Chains A and B, each alone.
Chain A
């Protein structure tokens, strides 16, 4: 089975090629788009095959003995270049293979990607049904994304990983900008891509450092090199810390961590399946995957670990608070995604790699489910996303309701559901691990409570209470077709049960973590002096967090079902705070203030840019860039080029002077003659040449 590993990414690629080329051909020759059945059967078929292959590979992987569960396959030599001198002082040739690596970690990833991906593809058939011209475009892009994502997770070296990394960025660019006629979509797409590029900037430099220190970018070789050269953690800030930090910068961009998270909410401009697949389940977790993958490096850079944990938990907190007050259903989910990603990074930061990946998996299930659910709601309401115009949909959309319900409870951390296990693992590790810190735990628990609150709030506002539907949509709201609901159900089952793969220590063996062991084997003994806590402690903490979650749920119930007036009263009472949080801490506005107004002050320069000043950091910085660009543009015209023309003018002017000298009077000419003689001979008389 394993020898067909390479097919897993290639299949979606073929799907992309077929759909893309045939569709393009069709539309450019006949003007009519490709027939839908052909398109989706190709797209979903390829992904399904990939999924079944993935299962097959997974199966044959777990047949193997845990210690040789790392399979590397080099497909072909990609880049060959001259020599560089590595850290150890000897020469290494730049020789990079296009290779694949299947180990527990990537196995888990491909299962999630292909599995969830397939479901979302199926769901999209229904969701995109009413889009005529773009149907083939959409599915070919989706397949392209699958290919890139699988390349990313299956790569066996940093550079191929970077290929996938950029590739998913590209396909997300295409899919966010899918609604071509919407300007906001285009802007969001560009914003996403450029912010990601800022992250990639860090990533690529990290790769260059890695190569020029270790002379290779192959995962296993690099990690061996790390162990060889840095047997102990780097207590002083050194090259390894730099590598780790730069990698993390890349991760921040891709996984929307502060301060590079601003693109994700905007990315909701894309179709909902896209948000589900790319901006919830898979792509945004690439950062987590990458950090987990290179945990060998991180485990030896404690300072960076601290930064990762700090930024992660902080992001979790901020995003959660913002999510509590959003009115747009997809925005809520977007911020919650950011918050959950924060969790994962916190986990990685405290050294709980397995826990982080575990949460990644569970999150993939329930967050995809939530998005798809919201998608079916949106479709039912004819693309209405504002929760204030929903409510009481339960009776119209039963399936959507219960599936989303499960997902909500899962993410809220209700015991027995997947979210509970993964989140609890993270919290426990952040408490118990040596790299952990009590503060992280506290904030984590707090965030758990808030999560419970805002998710329930979303449920209540959407499905319960009185109907606030707009009249025009009110009377033909009905449940989505099976092609959309079936994936919901499957995912619901998934998000209910996958949690049992990773039981807490006091319940039983943690299969998942144990399975992942080989991937991170031997990376931690360096920092491993765990003081063992009794199970009681763990249980106690769990109880505590669960109660907090319960409180969250209750508060939501209290405010949005029981005493709705109260909520408004509270809002009135704490208007200031509410305003602050409701407006996402004015982050975007602050950026505007920082860049845009300053820009305005710079006078007429900016008149050109005010027109296209959009919110946010990117455009703010873009503004700055454009100012400097404008200035250098002006410089180019008015200084560099001016000098050139100036020379020309000088010549022409002196030419006219010389013409004046040529008076046409013969005696003047004779005069020059004499002057010439005088000059020459006085040269001798006075200078004595």
Chain B
């Protein structure tokens, strides 16, 4: 029987890996994937809790999180395409038209 702490620690690790990905990668798409990683860590949390609490709402929550993840991915990639068709780049550090 693995206690909840392990799952929490695992999810924090995954979460922060995702964060680091967001902070470091230049490629917008990979950044999006890192965000998916973060959401995944969230799901891990939810499921672990729902198991520990014997409450299913965690799992329902996870379902919604996945839904939202899908929606975000769709919109995000749409934006990426629009951007790419205008700027011919998907590197975030070349996107600095507006600053100051």
Cα A664 to Cα B97 with chains together (Å): 7
Cα A667 to Cα B19 with chains together (Å): 11
Asked if A664 and B23 sit within 8 Å, CB to CB, the answer is: no
A674, CB-defined interface residue at 8 Å: yes
Looking at chain A's contact residues, the main secondary structure is helix
A689, CB-defined interface residue at 8 Å: no
Contact partners of B95 in chain A: CB under 8 A: 664-666
Asked if A664 and B99 sit within 8 Å, CB to CB, the answer is: yes
Asked if A671 and B23 sit within 8 Å, CB to CB, the answer is: yes
Asked if B99 and A663 sit within 8 Å, CB to CB, the answer is: yes
**Chain B stretch 7-23: residues in CB contact (< 8 A) with chain A:** 19, 22-23
From A659, A666, A667, A671, give the contact of B100 (CB < 8 A): A659
From B19, B24, B96, give the contact of A665 (CB < 8 A): B96
Cα A670 to Cα B23 with chains together (Å): 7
Cα A664 to Cα B22 with chains together (Å): 16
Asked if B96 and A664 sit within 8 Å, CB to CB, the answer is: yes
Asked if B93 and A667 sit within 8 Å, CB to CB, the answer is: yes
**How distant is B21 from chain A, measured CB to nearest CB, in Å?**
11
B92, CB-defined interface residue at 8 Å: yes
Cα A131 to Cα B100 with chains together (Å): 76
Cα A666 to Cα B98 with chains together (Å): 11
A590, CB-defined interface residue at 8 Å: no
Contact partners of A663 in chain B: CB under 8 A: 96, 99
Asked if B99 and A666 sit within 8 Å, CB to CB, the answer is: no
Q: Which residue of A lies closest to B95 (CB)?
A: A666
Given A665-B93, A667-B93, do A674 and B19 touch, yes or no (CB 8 Å)? Answer: yes
**How distant is A287 from chain B, measured CB to nearest CB, in Å?**
75
Cα A671 to Cα B19 with chains together (Å): 9
- Bitwise, A641-684 to B at CB < 8 A (1) or not (0) is 00000000000000000011011111100110010000000000
**How distant is A396 from chain B, measured CB to nearest CB, in Å?**
94
Asked if B92 and A667 sit within 8 Å, CB to CB, the answer is: yes
Asked if B92 and A664 sit within 8 Å, CB to CB, the answer is: no
Asked if B100 and A664 sit within 8 Å, CB to CB, the answer is: yes
**How distant is B83 from chain A, measured CB to nearest CB, in Å?**
12
Cα A667 to Cα B26 with chains together (Å): 9
Cα A65 to Cα B44 with chains together (Å): 122
From B22, B97, B98, B100, give the contact of A670 (CB < 8 A): B22
Given A667-B92, A667-B93, do A662 and B100 touch, yes or no (CB 8 Å)? Answer: yes
Cα A157 to Cα B24 with chains together (Å): 92
Contact partners of A659 in chain B: CB under 8 A: 100
The total of interchain contacts (Cβ-Cβ below 8 angstroms) comes to 29
Given A664-B98, A664-B99, do A674 and B93 touch, yes or no (CB 8 Å)? Answer: no
Contact partners of B96 in chain A: CB under 8 A: 663-665
Contact partners of B22 in chain A: CB under 8 A: 667, 670
Asked if A665 and B98 sit within 8 Å, CB to CB, the answer is: no
Contact partners of B99 in chain A: CB under 8 A: 662-665
Q: Which residue of A lies closest to B92 (CB)?
A: A666
- Bitwise, B65-100 to A at CB < 8 A (1) or not (0) is 000000000000000000000000000110111111
Cα A663 to Cα B95 with chains together (Å): 10
Cα A100 to Cα B41 with chains together (Å): 103
Q: Which residue of A lies closest to B26 (CB)?
A: A667
Contact partners of A674 in chain B: CB under 8 A: 19, 23
Asked if A667 and B98 sit within 8 Å, CB to CB, the answer is: no
Contact partners of A671 in chain B: CB under 8 A: 23
**How distant is A112 from chain B, measured CB to nearest CB, in Å?**
86
**How distant is A334 from chain B, measured CB to nearest CB, in Å?**
77
Q: Which residue of B lies closest to A677 (CB)?
A: B19
Contact partners of B23 in chain A: CB under 8 A: 667, 670-671, 674
Contact partners of B92 in chain A: CB under 8 A: 665-667
**How distant is B59 from chain A, measured CB to nearest CB, in Å?**
27
Q: Which residue of A lies closest to B96 (CB)?
A: A664
Q: Which residue of B lies closest to A660 (CB)?
A: B100
Contact partners of A670 in chain B: CB under 8 A: 22-23
Contact partners of B19 in chain A: CB under 8 A: 674
Contact partners of A664 in chain B: CB under 8 A: 95-100
Cα A662 to Cα B97 with chains together (Å): 12
Contact partners of B93 in chain A: CB under 8 A: 665, 667
Cα A660 to Cα B100 with chains together (Å): 6
**How distant is A677 from chain B, measured CB to nearest CB, in Å?**
9
Instruction: Among A663, A667, A670, A671, find the residue whose CB has the most chain B CB atoms closer than 10 A.
Output: A667
Cα A537 to Cα B97 with chains together (Å): 114
Q: Which residue of A lies closest to B24 (CB)?
A: A667
Cα A673 to Cα B53 with chains together (Å): 32
Contact partners of A662 in chain B: CB under 8 A: 99-100
Cα A606 to Cα B72 with chains together (Å): 77
Cα A659 to Cα B19 with chains together (Å): 25
**How distant is A215 from chain B, measured CB to nearest CB, in Å?**
72
**How distant is B61 from chain A, measured CB to nearest CB, in Å?**
22
Cα A671 to Cα B23 with chains together (Å): 6
**How distant is B4 from chain A, measured CB to nearest CB, in Å?**
20
- Bitwise, A579-600 to B at CB < 8 A (1) or not (0) is 0000000000000000000000
Q: Which residue of A lies closest to B25 (CB)?
A: A667
Contact partners of A667 in chain B: CB under 8 A: 22-24, 92-93
Contact partners of B100 in chain A: CB under 8 A: 659-660, 662, 664
Cα A663 to Cα B99 with chains together (Å): 5
**How distant is B58 from chain A, measured CB to nearest CB, in Å?**
23
Instruction: Among B93, B97, B98, find the residue whose CB has the most chain A CB atoms closer than 10 A.
Output: B93
Q: Which residue of B lies closest to A658 (CB)?
A: B100
Q: Which residue of A lies closest to B97 (CB)?
A: A664
Cα A659 to Cα B100 with chains together (Å): 4
Chain A residues with CB under 8 Å of chain B are 659-660, 662-667, 670-671, 674
Q: Can you list 9 residue pairs at the A/B interface with Cβ under 8 Å? A: A659-B100, A660-B100, A663-B99, A664-B100, A665-B93, A665-B95, A665-B99, A667-B93, A670-B22
Chain B residues with CB under 8 Å of chain A are 19, 22-24, 92-93, 95-100
17 other contacts beyond A662-B100, A666-B95, with CB at 8 A cut-off? A659-B100, A663-B99, A664-B95, A664-B96, A664-B97, A664-B98, A664-B99, A664-B100, A665-B92, A665-B93, A665-B95, A665-B96, A667-B23, A667-B24, A667-B93, A670-B22, A670-B23
Q: Which 9 A-B pairs have the closest CB atoms?
A: A664-B99, A664-B96, A659-B100, A666-B92, A662-B100, A670-B22, A664-B98, A665-B93, A665-B96
